[in-house]
Structure 1
Amino acid sequence: MNEFRPLAEGRRPRIAVLDDYMGVAHRLADWSKLTNRADVTFISEALPGGDATVARLRPYDAICLLRERSPMPAELLRQLPELRAIAATGRLNRTLDYKAAHDLGIAVMTTSGSGNGIYATVELAWGLIISLMRHIPEESMAMRNGAWQTRLGNALYGRTLGLIGLGKLGTRMVQIARAFGMEVLAWSPNLTPERATAAGAVYATKEDLLRQSDIVSLHLVLGPTTRGIIGSDDLALLHPNAILINTARGPLVDNEALLAALRDGKLRAAGIDVYDAEPLPADAPLRALPNALLTPHLGYSVQETFSAFYRETVENLEGWLDGNPPRLAQI
């Protein structure tokens, strides 16, 4: 099918804004451009999955996705006969089946980027690094409980940062590490020594990087070749005082192996922002580990990013209502 599904006649279009966990989407763009012409519902809770998700989404003509929080596989799309448009944020959504959407006549629109929040994930990674190196969460809690100076931290100067992945965000990590006076090693499946040098890092094999680094930070795209790229054998190469940081994607790291390394003291600590299942279940074992500093996928979640996403989402849906959807995804 090459044409988009037409809007149903005789009723106002229905639009669902998904994944609005913090309840902020309504104030970050001028949604009145749409509410004058359509019914817009903001959904703050995560979709339950399965038949419950189908039932929740079935009434809507258009849905808005915030990055990859709610997967849209072909099986789900085929069960949504009213769906005419998907307004996805970012340039690429790896949990959305673009071909299935196209074949079903669903217009998929994207946004141009993340605005001034492009490096927000890098900033969070450094927040986790510094918090763990200086025991900031523990010392803050100790202060609230009346204590004073309970733990001795470590400086970053002279330490070695190992980067697994040296793309746009990894390269930004190098720049900040150099400002702290750190040595930087880098490795990824496709990285060359020349590219590492150009980014200001030193190329190392994966094994050497893990053995030599005080802090290892992941900045890879999740795919068939990178899923589980850090497993039990890799974690065993880290020295016991090392720190692991993951602000990229949860499945890059074998979760059970990470749990074991943290529980057994084979890894000093981990700063984790991304998980195999999101939102992370309340009873997830990782939540109970004192040497795991956890944040709820805050990497790109800053006002600058969301404002850019939702502003262009409104523009996209306005064009779609006019019969001319902009920024159509290319499959």
Structure 2
Amino acid sequence: MSHRLAILDDYQGVAYDYAPWDQLAVHGIGVTVFGEPFQDEESLIQALRGFSIVVAMRERTAFNAARLHQLPRLKLLVTTGMANSSIDIEAARELGITVCGTGGSPAAAPEMTWALLLAAARNLQFEGNAMRAGRLQSTVGFELSGKTLGVLGLGKIGSKVAGYARAFGMDVIAWSPNLREETAAAAGVRRVSKDALFREADVVSVHVRLSERSHGVVGEEELRLLGPDGILVNTARGPLVDGDALLRGLNEGWLGGAALDVYDVEPLPADHPLLSAPRTVLTPHLGYVTAESYARFYGEAFEDVQAWAQGKPLRVI
């Protein structure tokens, strides 16, 4: 084989269910699937040093400039989705590495957001565990109808979540740095200031894109405004929220609760303090993990590799 392809972080062992990877043999490409995250930098570099093609599943494995420089054979890096904050695109370009992306499901992340929001409102994770331990009805949840949802970032995902909220009879307010009145009105929501969003909302759902400017956009000040009855939902990216402030709010009781699918470090370590924090609903970054999403991710990643092998790369980032 003239090229070796690594498919990374196939935790569920399903990569071959969604794309005919063996067909790449006609292009001289041999495929290896990695089903576990790399434990450290050295093991990652040693494992991938001989590969010229890598298919990465979202941000599960980062490719910063330092890592890319240690992978001299790498020529094609495919990420699922058309944006990946854990890949240094400029460094890849300087090293002559082509970076390609894929489409994604427009429904997966908004539906996961709503699942977390409902679970937090009715304490489903806590109550389910309590029932298995022989206890019944330990808490009292709340109804969404008549409550206010604050949407932080009214893009494609945020707009869908706002639509779900209206269907549940919620008032919806929104803020992002560049949100216009007419954009908010078109989505059927009311634009407010950032402080007003956290002060007025019963639940805040985070949907801004991670960047240097948005890192820590939700800090202690915002969480205190949300208050002891407020719920924070984050299905976007972990570093958007100040993790230390979030933990303090939960443990000290000045934040009502948190429903999280994303974290500063993923996979979340077994000894991470969030795992023992009260009033939480925690899931292991399932926002994009659906059959429909994987069909597009892996299917289009296969197309990207095939097109690159034919000298006609697709969906170059």
The TM tier, using the shorter chain, reads over 0.9
Q: Deviations over 1:91-120 (max 9, x none)?
A: 122222223222322222222x11xx2121
Maintained 8 Å contact 1:174/1:184: yes
Counterpart of 1:7 in structure 2 is none
For 2:100 and 2:153, the matched residues in 1 are separated by: 29
8 A Cα contact 2:149 2:171, kept in partner: yes
SS in 1 for 2:164: helix
Q: Residues 277-316 of structure 1: matches in 2 within 5 Å?
A: 277-316=265-304
- Give unmatched runs, 5+ long, in structure 1: 1-10
- Residue of structure 1 in register with 2:44 after alignment: 53
Q: Does 1:20 align with 2:10?
A: yes
CA distance in 2, matches of 1:224, 1:77: 21
Structure 2 residues not aligned, in runs of 5+: none
Q: Which residue of 2 aligns with 1:70?
A: 61
| Other-structure match for 1:226 | 214
Q: 1:31 matched to which residue of 2?
A: 21
Runs of 4+ in 1 over 4 A off after TM superposition: none
Contact 2:307 2:314 in 1 (8 A): no
Hey, what's the Cα distance between the residues in 1 that align with 2:234 and 2:18? Answer: 28
After TM superposition, the score normalised by the length of structure 2 is 0.94
Aligned to 1:211: 199
| Identity between Structure 1 and Structure 2 (%) | 43
- In the alignment, the residues of structure 2 paired with residue 141 and residue 282 of structure 1 have an alpha-carbon distance, to the nearest angstrom, of 18
What is the identity, as a one-letter code, of the residue corresponding to 1:95?
Answer: S
Task: Answer whether contact 2:201 2:230 (CA < 8 A) is retained.
Answer: yes
Q: Provide the C-alpha distance between the structure 2 equivalents of 1:183 and 1:99, rounded to a whole number of angstroms.
A: 42
Q: After superposing the two structures, state which structure 1 stretch, 236-245 or 92-101, moved more.
A: 92-101
Counterpart in the other structure of 1:327:
314
Q: Say which one has the larger Rg.
A: 1
Q: State the Cα RMSD in Å.
A: 1.6
- Point out the more displaced range, 162-171 or 135-144: 135-144
Instruction: Report if aligned partners of 1:156, 1:180 keep a CA contact under 8 Å in 2.
Output: yes
Deviations 1:21-46 (CA, angstroms, capped at 9, x unpaired): 22211211111212454321111111
Deviations along 1:109-134, one digit per CA (max 9) or x if unpaired, are 222x11xx212111111111111111
Q: Contact 1:118/1:300 (CA < 8 Å) preserved in 2?
A: no
For residues 145-179 of structure 1, the C-alpha deviation after alignment (integer angstroms, 9 at most, x for no partner) is 34443322211110011111111111111111111
Q: How does 1:158-169 map to 2 (within 5 A)?
A: 158-169=146-157
- Alpha carbons 1:109, 1:325 under 8 Å: kept: no
Distance in 1 separating the partners of 2:205 and 2:57: 24
Contact 1:89 1:313 in 2 (8 A): yes
> 1:179-212 CA deviation, whole Å, 9 max, x = no partner?
1000011111111222211211111111111111
Task: State the distance in 1 between where 2:122 and 2:247 align.
Answer: 22
CA distance in 2, matches of 1:286, 1:185: 28
**TM-score normalized with structure 1 length:** 0.91
Shift of 1:61: 1.5
Letter in 2 for 1:326: P
2:97 — aligned with what? 106
Task: Give the total of aligned pairs.
Answer: 316
Q: Quick check: 1:240 aligned with 2:228?
A: yes
Instruction: Confirm or deny: 8 A CA contact 1:15 1:39 kept in the other structure.
Output: yes
Between 238-247 and 82-91, report the one with greater CA deviation. Answer: 82-91
Contact persistence 1:165–1:218 (CA under 8 A) = yes
